[in-house]
Amino acid sequence: MRLNDLPRGTDAVIDSVDDNGSPDPVAQRLRELGFVPGEAVRIVATAPLGGDPLAVRIGFTRFALRRTEAQRVCVHVAKAAA
Amino acid sequence: MTPLNIALVGNPNCGKTALFNLLTGSRQKVANYAGATVERKEGWFTTPAGRSVRLLDLPGAYSLNATSPDEAVTRDVCAGTYRGEAAPDLLVCVADATNLRLHLRFVLEMRSLGRPVVLALNMIDAAQRSGMEIDLPRLQAELGMPVVPTVGIKRNGARDLLARLDGVPPPVPTPLAPGTDLHAMVRQILADCVTHATPLSDRMEERLDRWVLHPVWGPVILLVLLFLMFQAVFAWAQPLMDGIDAGMGLLGEQVGRIMPDGVLRSLIVDGVIAGAGSVVTFLPQILILFAWILALEESGYLPRAAFLLDRLMSVAGLSGRSFIPLLSSFACAVPGIMATRTIQNPRDRLVTILVAPLMTCSARLPIYTLLIGAFIPHRNVAGFMNLQGLVLFGLYALGIISALVVARVMRWRNPDQREATLLMELPAYRLPNPRDLALGLWERARIFLMRVGTTIVSLTVLLWGLSSFPKPPAGAVGPAIDWSLAGRIGHIMLPVFAPLGFNWQICVALIPGLAAREVAVGALATVYSLGSGTDTDQAALQLGGMLPTHWSLPTALSLLAWYVYAPQCVATLAVIRRETGSWRVVALTAGYLFGLAYAAAFLTYHIARML
């Protein structure tokens, strides 16, 4: 699943961040900001007028991402117990 | 002994600037880096042991792998390769103790620079309050550099750092093996050295963001904040402005009484006091506006506003990132245009620069205030709103809407296939620190008063000269100013501006307004003060009360509409030239603003006359 498809408020874990063309400075920056495999993410808010951009929480930091940027991030939904 | 060169580095929002203010107090200098338009903040202080230190506050960066001009400056200065900057003797890397997962990665990058590094673990108090325990000795060992706790917002918050600076100079850390997975290393360090890593603030953020970022309540909160800001600018500043106004009037009267009648008295009273005085009056408004913007910035709210507005801005072909430069442009387009450096997309950046002058800058406030105060009745609307504040809000709104339309047109004219990006941190909420606010305001007030003292006074004196000479021939009838150079220039310009309802006095005032918009007010004061004869010096300081007898309401409204677009600000055009390196962009900006100003004033004048 891609991060932009993740429902709001659902806990998920990052699988990978894919380059969209090369070099991809956006993907590079996402990785530097901590979007790396194994990190927990959650969408905490979606903006008015169409739900783009997304406010994403990763670790204790929040980032605003457009859906096209979030599309680079592959995630899977975390187990309910985790 | 030569001073120790220290550079402060760190992620954006790590509290670096608060720490810088704490260390240096008001001993700071703000300028630009040579050959770049990145703001360079330098300060000085002396350690308890008497060591003098020159401290450079580098722009915040997430990585040495720079993606913006700001980050490139940080990278090059740290590496010691920036031309014209001495290589720092010591890097003080600042990290937010409550956000180590993000910030430590950059700290580890510092190890590869081959320079001594000290880590300032900032906001350690907030971390401890939330029950976080950090094993400092172990952290120090694993990071391979000295670690000192700091609290940027407490009086003694830098004590440990200062003690460290007086101690043994820290060694150069051993660089990491190339290709080390920094994230994995950070995770390991956090697992080893930090317990209970859930900051308390995280829960507060969660709760606040539920409202602030809400699709419905978020925009409502934003509108209320902006509306309050503009009401405050208009309503709260009034008593202070009245005070300054009265003081200047009294000063003019006293000086007029002491000095013998003649050219010198006219220069001082009509030129300097009337001209500069009418501009100084607006200091309270400008400071209130800056105080709001600084407070919103410090609190962490601004990026959230950018998040809420991203969609709206994308309609105009921009991203939410353009919101922060554009909001700064409400104070002044010059820092606003400089703040566009954080926009990575070159086209977005250019369009933002082009529309930034449409944001109503504080230099336009004196003119708006003067005209609104003189022509719009002070009345309540719907019980709680002030009609004058409402008109002011409308003028600001007109500027914003025009900017969106212009941006849209520019995008349509100049399409770009590159992907539009946002990717922006929403920092933790923070209570604005009074000292940081005060320092920011002091900086603004100083710049404003320097402008009054230099540009504005010299221009008003020049205008006084133009308006006073040549003297009318003996036995001439009519006001003396009709015979002067300024009067003649005004009459020459009149045919161009008469269709807008402007009289020749307004035409004269438009000229010095080129250098700084607010001078137009001082210029009107000088022109009318000289036109009305020497007995009524006072009139210049009560310009607002006098204007309705000289101008019709359509003329006043037309001038207001003119100033929504008003192309004349040399400083703005100069900074556009510097930022874009292109005279074509400068000509484009000046040309389209002049066209819009002329059209808007023309329409306003003729529609108002018909009503």
- pLDDT above 90 for B90: yes
A55 and B426 within 8 Å at the Cβ level: the answer is yes
B199 and A66 within 8 Å at the Cβ level: the answer is no
pLDDT for position B341? 73
Element housing B386 (H / E): strand B385-386
Among the partner residues A34, A46, A66, nearest to B215 by beta-carbon distance:
A46
Top residue of B304, B307, B318 to mutate, by most chain A CBs within 10 Å, is B307
pLDDT band at B95 (very low <50, low <70, confident <90, very high): very high
pLDDT for position B22? 92
Dist. CA B335–CA B57, nearest whole Å: 18
- pLDDT above 70 for B381: yes
Residues of B in contact with A51 (CB under 8 A): 215
Is residue A65 one of the residues assigned to a domain? yes
Higher local confidence (pLDDT), B360 or B457: B360
- Shortest CA gap A68–chain B (Å): 8
Higher local confidence (pLDDT), B148 or B609: B148
Dist. CA B365–CA B292, nearest whole Å: 15
Dist. CA B603–CA B224, nearest whole Å: 31
- pLDDT above 50 for B534: no
Q: Which has the closest alpha carbon to B330: B413, B245, B444? A: B444
Is residue A82 one of the residues assigned to a domain? no
Residues of B in contact with A34 (CB under 8 A): 101-102, 105, 183
Range(s) of the domain holding residue A70: 3-77
For the segment B138-147, what is each residue's pLDDT rounded down to a tens digit?
A: 999 999 999 9
Q: What is the mean pLDDT of residues B189-207?
A: 77
Contact B303, B324 (CB under 8 A): yes
Lowest mean pLDDT among B156-160, B224-228, B264-268: B264-268
Residues of A in contact with B215 (CB under 8 A): 45-48, 51
**Segment-wise mean pLDDT, segments of 10 residues, chain A, 82 residues:** 92 92 86 91 90 89 92 88 46
A61 and B102 within 8 Å at the Cβ level: the answer is yes
Higher local confidence (pLDDT), B296 or B483: B296
pLDDT for position B318? 84
Considering only alpha carbons, which residue of chain B is nearest residue A30?
B423
Which pair of tokens denotes residue B445?
Answer: 């007030």
- Shortest CA gap B176–chain A (Å): 17
Higher local confidence (pLDDT), B93 or B331: B93
Q: What residues of A are in the B interface, CB distance below 8 Å?
A: 25-26, 28-34, 36, 44-53, 55, 59-66, 68-69
User: Total structural domains in chain A?
Assistant: 1
Q: What is the mean pLDDT of residues B86-109?
A: 92
Top residue of B422, B424, B425, B429 to mutate, by most chain A CBs within 10 Å, is B422
CATH number at residue A15: 2.30.30.90
Higher local confidence (pLDDT), B254 or B198: B254
Lowest mean pLDDT among B354-358, B539-543, B587-591: B539-543
For the segment B384-399, what is each residue's pLDDT rounded down to a tens digit?
A: 777 888 888 888 889 9
User: Which parts of A4-47 fold into alpha helices (H)?
Assistant: 25-32
Q: What is the 3-state secondary structure (H, E, C) of B158-192?
A: CHHHHHHHHCCCCCCCCCCCCCCCHHHHHHHHHHH
Chain pair A-B, CB pairs under 8 angstroms:
110
For the segment B257-275, what is each residue's pLDDT rounded down to a tens digit?
A: 887 777 787 777 777 776 6
Is residue A54 one of the residues assigned to a domain? yes
Higher local confidence (pLDDT), B457 or B610: B610
- Rounded to the nearest integer, the mean pLDDT of chain B is 83
Domain boundaries of chain B, sorted by first residue: 4-201
Top residue of A41, A44, A49 to mutate, by most chain B CBs within 10 Å, is A49
Among the partner residues A26, A33, A48, nearest to B62 by beta-carbon distance:
A33
Q: Does domain B4-201 have CATH number 3.30.43.10?
A: no
- pLDDT above 60 for B200: no
B310 and A53 within 8 Å at the Cβ level: the answer is yes
pLDDT for position A82? 43
In chain A, the N- to C-terminal Cα span, in Å, equals 18
Higher local confidence (pLDDT), B445 or B106: B106
Is residue A44 one of the residues assigned to a domain? yes
Dist. CA B460–CA B463, nearest whole Å: 5
Among the partner residues A28, A48, A66, nearest to B308 by beta-carbon distance:
A48
pLDDT band at B477 (very low <50, low <70, confident <90, very high): low
Contact B319, B225 (CB under 8 A): no
Top residue of A26, A60, A69, A72 to mutate, by most chain B CBs within 10 Å, is A60
pLDDT for position A5? 93
Residues of B in contact with A68 (CB under 8 A): 419-420
Residues of A in contact with B210 (CB under 8 A): 45
- DSSP code string of B308-332: HHHHHHHHTT--GGGHHHHHHHHH-
- Shortest CA gap A33–chain B (Å): 6
Number of other residues whose CB lies within 10 A of the CB of residue B522:
33
- Shortest CA gap A79–chain B (Å): 20
- Shortest CA gap A66–chain B (Å): 6
